[in-house]
Amino acid sequence: MTFPGSPQTRSWRKPPRLYEEIAKDLGSGISEGRLKPDDFLPTEQALSERYRASRTAIREALRVLSARGMVEVIHGRGTKVLPRHRWQLLDQLARLVREDIEVDRSLFELRRILEIESAGLAAERATAVQLRGLREAIKAGWKCTEQPEEWTTHDSTFHHLLAEASGNLLLPQVMESVAMLVRAAALSTARDPGATVRAMEKHEAILAKVEARDPAGARDAMRRHLLGVEKHLLEKLETAGRHSRRRAGTG
Dihedral Cα 57, 22, 180, 95, nearest 10 deg: 150
89-243: CATH topology is Four Helix Bundle (Hemerythrin (Met), subunit A) (1.20.120)
For the entire predicted model, the pTM comes to 0.64
Asked whether the CA dihedral 233, 177, 55, 49 is positive or negative, the reply is negative
Averaged pLDDT for residues 38-46: 93
* 249 — pLDDT class (breaks 50, 70, 90): low
Residue 94 has pLDDT above 80, yes or no: no
pLDDT at 48 over 80: yes
Mean pLDDT of 130-153: 91
Q: For residue 124, which of 162, 176, 175, 157 has the smallest C-alpha distance?
A: 162
Give the rounded percent of residues in the chain with a pLDDT score beyond 90. Answer: 45
Looking at the predicted structure, is the pLDDT value of residue 15 above 50?
Answer: no
Across 120-134, 179-193, 214-228, least confident range: 179-193
**Which tops the pLDDT comparison, 121 or 90?**
121
**Least confident residue range of 10-14, 50-54, 197-201:** 10-14
- The total of other beta-carbon atoms located within 10 Å of residue 88's CB is 11
d(Cα 29, Cα 10) in Å, to the nearest integer? 14
Which residue did the predictor score with more confidence, 161 or 233?
Answer: 161
Query: Same CATH fold, 89-243 and 18-82?
Result: no
Q: Rank 17-31, 156-170, 182-196 by mean pLDDT and report only the highest.
A: 156-170
Q: At residue 54, what are phi and psi to the nearest 5 degrees?
A: -70, 160
Domain residue ranges in the chain: 18-82, 89-243
CA distance 219 to 227: 12
Q: Which three-class secondary structure string do you get for the chain? A: CCCCCCCCCCCCCCCCCHHHHHHHHHHHHHHCCCCCCCCECCCHHHHHHHHCCCHHHHHHHHHHHHHCCCEEEECCCEEEECCHHHHHHHHHHHHHHHHCHHHHHHHHHHHHHHHHHHHHHHHHHCCHHHHHHHHHHHHHHHHCCCCHHHHHHHHHHHHHHHHHHCCCCCHHHHHHHCHHHHHHHHHHHHCCCCHHHHHHHHHHHHHHHHHCCCHHHHHHHHHHHHHHHHHHHHHHHHHHHHHHHHHHCCC
Residue 7 predicted with pLDDT over 50 = no
Query: By the 8 A CB rule, do 183 and 86 touch?
Result: no
Supply the pLDDT for residue 191.
85
What is the pLDDT at residue 8?
44
For residue 83, pLDDT beyond 90: no
Instruction: For domain 18-82, say whether CATH 1.10.10.10 is its number.
Output: yes
For residue 2, is pLDDT > 90? no
Query: Which residues lie across from 72 on neighbouring strands?
Result: 80
Taking residues 101-106, report their average pLDDT: 83
List, for residues 224-247, the tens digit of each pLDDT value: 999 999 998 888 877 766 655 555
Task: Give the pLDDT of residue 181.
Answer: 81
